[in-house]
Structure 1
Amino acid sequence: MRHIPNALCVLRMLLLVPIAVLLLADEYRLTLLLFGFAAATDGLDGFLAKRYGWTSDLGKILDPLADKILLVGVFVILAVLGRVPVWLAGVAVARDVVITIGAILYRRLYGPLQGRPTIVSKLNTLCQILYLLLIVAAGALAGDWQVAATVLGALVFVTTVVSGLDYVITYMRKALDASRRLELPDSGLR
């Protein structure tokens, strides 16, 4: 049972393929259901891991990776289809690229990276999910979605930039602290 959260993360990653196929086939109603299910697994895996103590080192890697794969993939596909502004998809993708490169560099230079998603990062993920769900819903359902899409798009932009800067500043501080610890002579004053 303790592997259910990790299995949900892997499922979320794998769901990008049918979601992409459905989007490219202009099947927005089915995409809405499948993407909604994939988005729900994000909350469910976290709930199960915390509620039942089913956390793992693998899960700490899989969960953010699954989010990045799903959200970046859907952003890129919707941008290619002209459903979301290319610049907004670019900002979302750039944030994740910067965070990933920073994490890789930190790990290579200083060792394992200890950290948890910040509140602004969680808010950013929620805003991105809601925005993408809205865009897919606009393709699936009749109605005027422009105002809601503009407001949510603005929230995505702001939370993406703020959370990206938050990660960069936080982990630059951690890198400076780690660098200083490495430079200290072994005098027992660590």
Structure 2
Amino acid sequence: MVQTWHVSFRLIPASHDLDAPIKSSTQLPKNQPLKRSIANAKERTKAVREKVRSSLPSLTPKENIYNLPNFLTVSRLVAAPVTAYLLAHDHYKWALGLFAYAGITDLVDGWLARKWKLQTVAGSVIDPMADKALMIILTVTLAVKGALPAYLATLILGRDAALALAAIYYRYASLPSPKTFTRYWDFSLPSAEVHPTTVSKYNTFLQLVLIGSTLALPVVTADRQYAGLLHGLGVSDAGLHDGMRYFQWLVAGTTAWSGLSYAYLKSAVTILGTNEELKAKQGARGRAIIGVTFGGVVLVATWLAFTVDEKRKQKQKELQEEKPVGVVSR
């Protein structure tokens, strides 16, 4: 059988490298789009990388808020309603003990934060919040029970309400964009810093002493041992109540002074940011909120002092006069 061979020849230009591999006619079109796609991807990646790097300096840093001082502050915040519950059910000794715990932790958490350098913006917000929660809840409870005069309770609560309104404004106005509901309540995002005034620090201490004394007064007068010791020192129940009334006047004066100090002191609040003109406007608006609201509170408290509290004082005086001699008030 004869086999037939078909041989084909291709002419190669003289300039062609005979040792180089011969490429197919379909390879070149396939590689060119792929190379262009890879180059485009690299350019897009580079652009995204540069955009991320340029945005890093504008990101708001976060703080580590989970530490022991903040834990103690939160426990003091929880102790406020529990103390009011005990007081409402006439458990004065337990209420006084829990109030003492709140006072001790108020000193300890600040000392720990300074010693271990654990100060945070969240702590600077929660710490006065816990103090004010304890003050507000106990003030309302004692006023309802008649242990605090209406004018003093109005001053204490009105001052805190005025400062709270201003704090809401300061927080929203100084919060870095975007201003969302979630970011508003994220206290790890710093915005405005509150610096308590000197008179405010003294006033807070005097208010705590007043609340503690008001809680201790029924414990002392109801316990025969304590009452006998005081009577042996020449201190009567009437003298204790008179001294408490004078102390209430002192706290009322410092409360009014403290509230008004936030209305005229520019250094009380520091707004974070770089726009000085905007910060000045925000500070002026916040101080105006405090001045108008707390000024109205002072007027209402003055009216209550000469009406409601005066009538209550006269009624208590009549009851004291009708009480038989030798009966110890409880």
TM, length-normalised to structure 1? 0.86
Q: Please state how far the C-alpha of 1:64 moved relative to its aligned partner.
A: 0.7
Q: Which residue of structure 1 lines up, in the alignment, with residue 173 of structure 2?
A: 109
1:75 aligns with 2:139: yes
1:39 aligns with 2:95: no
Task: Identify which of 96, 104, 112 aligns with 2:160.
Answer: 96
Q: Quick one: distance in 2 between partners of 1:147 and 1:122?
A: 26
Q: Closer, same or farther in 2 for the Cα pair 1:183/1:10, shift >3 Å?
A: closer
| Higher RCO (CA 8 Å, separation ≥ 6 residues) | 1
Q: Which residue of structure 1 lines up, in the alignment, with residue 218 of structure 2?
A: 139
Q: Which residue of structure 2 lines up, in the alignment, with residue 181 of structure 1?
A: 277
Q: Following TM superposition, where does structure 1 have runs of at least 4 consecutive aligned residues deviating by more than 3 angstroms?
A: 171-175
Q: Which residue of structure 2 lines up, in the alignment, with residue 148 of structure 1?
A: 243
Q: Which residue of structure 2 lines up, in the alignment, with residue 87 of structure 1?
A: 151
Q: Quick one: distance in 1 between partners of 2:279 and 2:112?
A: 41
Q: Quick one: distance in 2 between partners of 1:89 and 1:164?
A: 14
Q: Please state how far the C-alpha of 1:110 moved relative to its aligned partner.
A: 4.2
- Whether the 8 Å contact between 2:79 and 2:102 is mirrored in structure 1 is yes
Q: Closer, same or farther in 2 for the Cα pair 1:74/1:114, shift >3 Å?
A: same
Task: Identify which of 83, 98, 115 aligns with 1:51.
Answer: 115
Look up the equivalent residue of 2:208 and give its one-letter code.
I
The percent of aligned pairs where both chains have the same amino acid is 33
- Whether the 8 Å contact between 2:121 and 2:193 is mirrored in structure 1 is no
Q: Closer, same or farther in 2 for the Cα pair 1:89/1:183, shift >3 Å?
A: closer
- Whether the 8 Å contact between 1:5 and 1:48 is mirrored in structure 2 is yes
1:89-127: CA deviations, max 9, x gaps?
Answer: 111010011011112213333442223112211111100
- Whether the 8 Å contact between 2:192 and 2:269 is mirrored in structure 1 is no
Q: Which residue of structure 2 lines up, in the alignment, with residue 21 of structure 1?
A: 85
Query: Structure 1: which 5+ residue stretches go unaligned?
Result: 185-190
Secondary structure of residue in 2 paired with 1:15: helix
Secondary structure of residue in 2 paired with 1:114: strand
- Whether the 8 Å contact between 1:16 and 1:73 is mirrored in structure 2 is yes
Look up the equivalent residue of 1:141 and give its one-letter code.
V
Q: Which residue of structure 1 lines up, in the alignment, with residue 231 of structure 2?
A: none
Q: Quick one: distance in 1 between partners of 2:90 and 2:279?
A: 57
Q: Quick one: distance in 1 between partners of 2:115 and 2:246?
A: 33
Considering only aligned residues, what root-mean-square deviation do their CA atoms show, in Å? 2.4
1:162 aligns with 2:241: no
TM, length-normalised to structure 2? 0.51
- Whether the 8 Å contact between 1:28 and 1:137 is mirrored in structure 2 is yes
Look up the equivalent residue of 2:265 and give its one-letter code.
T
1:117-175: CA deviations, max 9, x gaps?
Answer: 12211111100100000000001112532133123212211111111001121259979
Query: Structure 2: which 5+ residue stretches go unaligned?
Result: 1-65, 176-190, 222-226, 228-236, 281-330
Q: How many residues align?
A: 181
- Whether the 8 Å contact between 1:99 and 1:168 is mirrored in structure 2 is no
